[in-house]
Structures are given as structure tokens and as C-alpha cells.
Amino acid sequence: MKNGAKALLTLPPAVYLFLFFAVPGLLMLLASFRFPGDYGGLAPWYYVEDGAITFDLTLENWARLFETTLYLQLLLKSLLFAVLTTAICALLAYPLALTIAASPKKHRDLLILMVILPFWSNFLVRIYAWMIIFSPQGALTEGLNHITGLLGLEPVNLMFSSVAVITCLVYVHLPFMVLPLYANLEKHDPALLDAAQDLGATRAQRFWKVTWPLSLPGLYAGAVLVFIPTLGIFAIPDLLGGTNGIMIGNVIKQQFVESRDWPFGSVLSLVLTGITLVLVVLAGRLGRTPGALT
Amino acid sequence: MKKLVTAVVLSLTALVSPAQAQKTLNLFNWNDYIADETVARFEQQCDCKVVQDYFSSTEEMMAKLLAGGGDYDVVIPTQNAVEALIKQGFLMPLDKSKLGNVKNMGPGFMNRSYDPGNQYSLPYAFTTTLIGYNENKLQELGIDPSDWRVIFDPTILAKIKGKVTVMDDSEELIAAALKYLGYSVNDTNEQHLKEAQAVILKAKPFWAAFNSSSYIKELTVGNIWVAHGYSSDMFQARSDAQEAGRPFTVGFVLPKQGAVLALDNMVIPKKARSPELAHQFINFMMAPENAAELTNIVGTGNPNAEAKRLIEPEILAINAIFPSEEQLKTLETISARNSKERRFTSRLWTEIKVR
């Protein structure tokens, strides 16, 4: 009976995953071996001639991925951007989450609210705000160039650069790191720290031996939530990236929109999905390391 | 936490506005391609609401329409897209009995090869793709903007590095590079197209961005000194800069090697929800006073013969908007490429973006 209830509970997510992940994934896999249609979409994958079925499939789209190193380089660059974004988010979010978790209970909700607050305005509006901040006429760039001028250095250009892209990626994804970390840190039993102190642990030891290992599952959860959307994003590099700031998501979007080459777009998407799956499984393994609270 | 959830739910419900009982015209148009005044007047006249969606390249528009996105009543495609949409059986034949203002259109713009007899489309406006620039800066640097070298020649670009944007549009940018090399914009020779790609790749490190949507703003503010874009957009950048009292003027000029001329048209998709209203809109846009606003406010070229007398003479005199006979000879319209050619150029374009 207990098993039956369990199966019933897991049914909706399983159906969801089947319909919205497995089925589209398989469709894309088939699409990746087909030819693009004349005006977008896909060419028929078989045709019947004199009663005989001829298949019109190709390996060309997959071969194209490896013909030059361009696409692999771009994948590597996107991974680097995503890792960097995740690392910076973690560095910024950890102290913040720790501070919120350690503050008096009555203030915590307000502080968390302030973390989520930016979500209430449209994503694109926030990116456009950054475009103003980064523009050569903006106070930030002018101030910075005043300093570089004093030091006798070349003026810097922030707009349309990788710096602008990563700054915005961090800005947009920071709450996804703060929330799981906070949820984890808040649950820590303060008695553990008291016990450690009683046993003579210094402040640093208490952090590294108690808080840090206990917080790792929250950190991994946050890392996954930041890393995955960052890896596939295209809007931020589109608006702020300039000629060299693009990521793999831009090229995928380009295949489906401007180039109308769905097969090659499918190839790139599948590769990205594959990489993401491997990383999520890895993070899941890490998250279950012994010593972690469940 | 509960309070927080309530607050979120409340603020979300506030965003959902009550349902509109009014008729709606869904217009799929180029960005910045109709004056607010014109839209407001149409809304008043038809007692309806105009909802606009925007695109910034033909490819983007085609992808969205052909993937089945958006039930639009009127779309404003360029001539080569009209041809492709007709071939796809995507358009509704126009009912000329509802379009009395057709008589106002200039004969040179009617009955063109992309839609003989104007069965599916009627001309809306025309633009050229050219160079917009910061007059003061280029004068200071002694750079001649009336030559495609200003966006393609590294020796010139070295002086304006990071201050140049080009269109994020494979058709337009490759066409410009082909013109720079002295070829036709419709050249299908793969070797020539590869040469164009090489030109673009050599110039790319000097460009700030591929940009088809915000170069008006960047030019107006002074962030960018040279932009590759549509004549109507440059016209707006110039008036915006004037209105904002900027210490510089924005100019625009047709490169001497020639450029792309785009004839934009009004069409009605087969699956339009209010074809009646769509016809009303098309007829409205062909009325001289409304057509004239396209030029006077938006800065487009105008195919409406009757509207000419309402157009401000100083705009009529701008060659980049109303090209002279001489210049018309150097201008070309882009024709639809077949699927093999399209695959080849889209591949070149992907490589341009990735490299």
C-alpha cells in the first residue's frame, strides 16, 4: 500500500518529465538527422516513391559540429562564463546568506524579501538599466576613466564587453544562490556551534568544521540553479556582449530564428543538454557526501 | 513567510488587467516604423486598439511567422519576404473593393515582380540601408562616411575602434560587404560570398557590436559614432539628437558603392483574426495625410504619390531618403535566395558570429 501511494505521488512529475523533457528530446534527436525545410522547420524525413520508402536523413549536422573547432571553443567559453558566474555568485551569496541566517528572526523575512525584490521588475528592464550604467556616458565609466586617466592608462570601455556580460549574469542569478544557501544555513542547530566552542574550537574552526560541511548541500543546490540557466542564456550576451561576448545560447537561438536551421540548432541543444545532465548528476553525487544533513 | 506569499500573489493579480471588449488590430511591424500619432488616429477612427509587435530583421520575422507564432492581422514585410510568403501560401488575397485609397499610390511602386497585380500586398514605405554617423566626430577625424570603407576598412576603423555598430542581420551585412567588394547584393557565387565573409571578419574586431535594435539610441547619446542601419532610423536618431540638444549632429549618407533599397509592404496573413479591420488599416495608411506622417515623423521614403505634397520639402530633398535618379541606379533590392543558397549564407553568418 505504501508503495502504491509512493508511485501515485511520483506519477505527476514523471509524466511531466516524460512529456516536457523526454519527448521533446527525442524529437530533437530525430530533427538533428534531418534536413532543414526551405523556410524554416524541417524537410520530410522520408518520402514514398513507387511504393518504396526512401529515408532522407543525414549525419551532416553532427559532422558540422566537429568540422571546425569553432563550436567546441564557444562551448568551452560558455562553460567558463557559467563557472565564473557561479563562483562569483557563491562568493557574494555565502556571507549574505550567513548574515541573514544569523540575524534576529523578526528581520529575516524582510531581508529575504529584499533579495527577491528585483524579481518584481521585468528582467529586460533590469538589463537595460545596466546598459545605461555601463554606457560610455554613464557615471560608472566616466568615473573609472577619470581614475585611469590620472594613472595615465587607456580609457576602458565597459559596454559591449565580457565584463558587462558576466556582471549582469551575476546580478540576475544571485538570488538563486542566496535562497537555497539561506534555507540550508537557517536550519543549522546553534547547539552544534556551542558544543564546538565548549570543546575549544576557535571561530575559524567552528566555521570550517561545522557550518561549512553542513552548508555544502545548499551550496551545491545554489550552484546548479545558477549554473544551468547561465550556460544556456542568450538575452544578456545579445544585449551587452558586443561582437565577442556571445555564448552557445546565442548560436542556438540564431539557428532557430535567423538561420532557420532547426537540425543544427537541435544538435547544439542536445550537446548542451548532455553536458548539463552530466554536471547535474555530478552535483547530485557531491550533494550526497557523507556528513551532510538530510 | 505566509505574509510574503500573500504579498506576491496580490501584486501578481494587480498586473492582470480586466479583459478588453474592444476590437483589436494586431500589427507586426519593424521597430520604430509608424508614428504614435498615426496609431492614435487610427484607434480613434476605428474605435479599436492597435497592438504592435516588432521585429528588427526579415529573418526574424519569417522565423516567427512560419513557426506559427502570433496571429497578426497586418504584417509589414520587405519585398523579398513578400515573395516567400506568397509562395508559402501564407497570405490572404486583398479585397480591393475595400481599398479605395489604392488610387493614391505612385505607379512606380505598384505591380512589381514580387507580387504582380498587387494581389497580396500594397506598398507601405521604402528605406535604404546606409551609414549613420556623428558629423562632428567624423569631421574631427577627417573620415569620409560616404564610402563602405568606413565600416569595413581596418585602416579607417583603427581610428574609430569600438565606436561602430553594424546590423545584426545576415542579409543586410553580407549585402553591404558585397557592395563594398563591387559585387551585386544578390550575388550567389560562393567564392564572392566567402570574400564578403573575410571582409566582415577582418573588420569585426573594430566593431563595438552587431546591433539592429538600439543603434538609434546609441547614436543619439553619442556612444557610437558610425552605425550601419536603415535610413528611417538614422532620420530619427538625427531628430532625437536635435531635440535633446546634443552638442553634435547625426548625419546619414548613401555609400558611393551603392546600397540596399527595401520596399516594405502591407500584407494580411490567411489566419488573421480580424481581416475586416486589417483592410481598414491598410486603406487608412494609404490616405495621403497618414502616409505623409511616415515620412515627416518616421523619415521613410514614400510610395504614395498623393502624399508627396504634404511632405516637408526639406525631407524630400534628402537624397538618402528620396534617392536621385543617379543614385537609384546604384541601389538594389534583395531578392529571395533559394534554400541551398540560404543554407550557405546562414553557415557563413554563424561562423562570423562565433569566430
Sign of CA dihedral A109, A111, A114, A119: negative
Instruction: Please indicate, yes or no, whether residues B152 and B294 belong to a single structural domain of this protein.
Output: no
Instruction: Please indicate, yes or no, whether residues B348 and B245 belong to a single structural domain of this protein.
Output: yes
Residue among B67, B162, B169 minimizing CB distance to A157: B162
Model-level pTM greater than 0.95? Answer: no
Instruction: Please indicate, yes or no, whether residues B167 and B221 belong to a single structural domain of this protein.
Output: yes
> Does B75 map to a domain?
yes
* Superfamily of chain region A67-287: MetI-like (1.10.3720.10)
Give A-chain residues touching B84 at CB under 8 angstroms.
Answer: 39
Cβ(A111)–Cβ(A100) below 8 Å: yes
> Does B188 map to a domain?
yes
Residue ranges, chain B, pLDDT below 70 = 1-21
> Does B106 map to a domain?
yes
Q: Rounded mean pLDDT of chain B?
A: 91
Instruction: Please indicate, yes or no, whether residues B117 and B220 belong to a single structural domain of this protein.
Output: no
Q: Looking at CA atoms only, how far is residue B227 from chain A in angstroms?
A: 14
Cβ(B99)–Cβ(B212) below 8 Å: no
Give A-chain residues touching B169 at CB under 8 angstroms.
Answer: 258
Give B-chain residues touching A255 at CB under 8 angstroms.
Answer: 350
Whether residues B66 and A74 touch (CB distance < 8 A) is answered with: no
- Among chain A residues, the shortest Cα distance to B213 is held by A239
Give A-chain residues touching B221 at CB under 8 angstroms.
Answer: 135, 137
Whether residues B221 and A254 touch (CB distance < 8 A) is answered with: no
**pLDDT averaged per 10 residues in sequence order, chain A, 294 residues:** 80 93 94 84 83 86 90 92 97 96 92 91 91 87 87 82 93 95 93 93 93 93 93 91 88 87 93 90 73 45
Instruction: Please indicate, yes or no, whether residues B220 and B246 belong to a single structural domain of this protein.
Output: yes
Looking at the structure of chain B, the number of domains it has is 2
Q: Looking at CA atoms only, how far is residue B7 from chain A in angstroms?
A: 10
Give B208-259 as a DSSP string: SEE-SSSHHHHHHHTS-SEEEEEHHHHHHHHHHHHHTT-SS-EEEE--TT--
Give A-chain residues touching B222 at CB under 8 angstroms.
Answer: 136-137
Give B-chain residues touching A264 at CB under 8 angstroms.
Answer: 350
pLDDT of residue A141: 87
Q: Is A66 within 8 Å of chain B by CB? A: no
pLDDT of residue B1: 45
Question: What's the CA dihedral at A139, A140, A143, A149 to 10 degrees?
Answer: -120
Cβ(A228)–Cβ(A280) below 8 Å: yes
pLDDT of residue B59: 85
Whether residues A40 and B60 touch (CB distance < 8 A) is answered with: no
Q: Looking at CA atoms only, how far is residue A104 from chain B in angstroms?
A: 15
> Does B162 map to a domain?
yes
Whether residues A254 and B88 touch (CB distance < 8 A) is answered with: no
pLDDT of residue B63: 85
> Taking each helix axis from N to C terminus, what angle separates B190-203 and B339-354, rounded to the nearest 10 degrees?
20
Instruction: Please indicate, yes or no, whether residues B276 and B314 belong to a single structural domain of this protein.
Output: yes
Whether residues A251 and B353 touch (CB distance < 8 A) is answered with: yes
> Does B9 map to a domain?
no
Instruction: Please indicate, yes or no, whether residues B234 and B146 belong to a single structural domain of this protein.
Output: yes
Give A-chain residues touching B1 at CB under 8 angstroms.
Answer: 109
> Does B7 map to a domain?
no
Distance from chain centroid for Cα B320: 14
pLDDT of residue A257: 83
Rounded Cα distance, A39 and B343, in Å: 11
Cβ(A155)–Cβ(A148) below 8 Å: yes
Half-sphere exposure in the Cβ direction for B52 (13 Å, CA): 16
Q: What are phi and psi of B266, to 5 degrees?
A: -100, 130
B169 appears as a binding residue in the annotation? yes
Q: Looking at CA atoms only, how far is residue B212 from chain A in angstroms?
A: 11
Of B252, B172, B15, nearest in space to A122 by CA: B15
Q: State the residue range of the domain holding B44.
A: 23-124+263-321
Q: For A80-116, b where at least 16 C-beta lie within 10 A, e where not — what string?
A: ebbeebbebbbeebbebbbebbeeeeeebeebbeebe
Half-sphere exposure in the Cβ direction for B120 (13 Å, CA): 26
Residue among B60, B66, B350 minimizing CB distance to A251: B350
Instruction: Please indicate, yes or no, whether residues B269 and B145 belong to a single structural domain of this protein.
Output: no
Whether residues A259 and B170 touch (CB distance < 8 A) is answered with: yes
Q: Is A261 within 8 Å of chain B by CB? A: yes
Whether residues B339 and A38 touch (CB distance < 8 A) is answered with: yes
B37 appears as a binding residue in the annotation? no
Cβ(B235)–Cβ(B298) below 8 Å: yes
Between A and B, how many CB-CB pairs are < 8 A? 92
Q: Looking at CA atoms only, how far is residue A113 from chain B in angstroms?
A: 8
> Does B255 map to a domain?
yes
Which residues sit opposite B131 in a β-bridge?
A: B228, B253
> Does B327 map to a domain?
no
pLDDT of residue A289: 58
Residue among A40, A131, A246 minimizing CB distance to B63: A40
Grid coordinates of A145: 576613466
pLDDT of residue B346: 86
CATH number of the domain where residue B339 is located:
3.40.190.10
DSSP state of B114: T
Three-state DSSP state, B89: coil
Of A173, A172, A179, nearest in space to A112 by CA: A179
Number of continuous H segments (helices) and E segments (strands) in chain A: 14, 2
ipTM: 0.77
Q: What are phi and psi of B157, to 5 degrees?
A: -60, -30
B312 appears as a binding residue in the annotation? no
Instruction: Please indicate, yes or no, whether residues B211 and B338 belong to a single structural domain of this protein.
Output: yes
Q: Looking at CA atoms only, how far is residue A90 from chain B in angstroms?
A: 24
pLDDT of residue A260: 82
pLDDT of residue B266: 97
